[in-house]
Amino acid sequence: MKATDYTVIRSRRRSLELRLYPDSRIEVRVPLRASAREVEDFIASKSAWLQSRLKGQQQRPPQMPLQYCQGEEHLFLGQRYPLSLSRAARPTTALQQGSLCMLNPQPDNPERIAHQLDRWYRQQADGVFNQLIDRHFPFFAIRGHSRPQLRVRSMKSRWGSLSSLGYINLNLELIKTPLHSIEYVVIHELCHLEHMNHGPGFRALMSQCLPDWRDRKRELNEVLLR
């Protein structure tokens, strides 16, 4: 792999991280004091995985822009639901009989439908994500940690993050993935309450909380969202 194949970004972090974006850009995020040799060795250790992912990206058909029209399918908790659009005085959205039923004063206006659907996704994400945090946090409370406050955010390069200011940030796009994938991300971020890196201690805690976390991580990494 040539040096020009990826961009190195240095920051105040403890571990090295490789990021592959949908447009095939590659970023390597490393600690400020990481040597060039450390970066090269890290990239070499990820070479097989990276080539496999790049090949997979190239083989995927290009995604068509969403139209937000009648019958178009949208993801929710890992399932695809067709839009059922009808005219009404006030916007409402609900899952009914296998469809995403959306009432709107202008059901033929894609921009308004997109905005309404985004708002519904955020409402659902807030409820689902908080329920999972509440389900798993007691384990961490016993270990002396405080419950982080949820922030649902639109993130381009990661599923979640834990802030030192007491926030757990989860990607809105997660609400489109299966529930067991969301649970993996929630537990991943909660484990960062105790380990801010991805070292042996973190992995051991993940295995204690979620024995099949590696399988869930692998499945989530293969998700292709629309």
**Does residue 224 carry a pLDDT above 60?**
no
Band (pLDDT 50/70/90 cuts) for residue 3 is: very low
Q: What mean pLDDT is reported for the chain? A: 90
Per-residue tokens: 81: 């639901």
Kindly report the pTM of this predicted structure.
0.79
pLDDT tens readout for residues 77-98: 999 999 999 999 999 999 999 9
14-18, 109-113, 128-132, 211-215: which has the minimum mean pLDDT? 14-18
Band (pLDDT 50/70/90 cuts) for residue 193 is: very high
Torsion from C-alpha of 65, 71, 73, 77, nearest 10 degrees: 140
The whole-angstrom separation of Cα 18 and Cα 21 is 10
**Does residue 62 carry a pLDDT above 70?**
no
**What region does 13 belong to: left with phi over 0, alpha with psi -120 to 50, or beta?**
beta
Residue type, 88: A
The whole-angstrom separation of Cα 160 and Cα 153 is 9
In the chain, what percentage of residues exceed pLDDT 70?
A: 92
Name all domains of the chain by residue range, CATH numbers in brackets. Answer: 3-59 (no CATH), 73-221 (3.30.2010.10)
pLDDT value, residue 63: 66
Asked if 76 and 93 count as a contact pair (C-beta separation under 8 A), the reply is no
**Does residue 200 carry a pLDDT above 90?**
yes
pLDDT value, residue 174: 96
Asked if 27 and 7 count as a contact pair (C-beta separation under 8 A), the reply is yes
pLDDT tens readout for residues 146-173: 999 999 999 877 899 999 899 999 999 9
pLDDT value, residue 7: 87
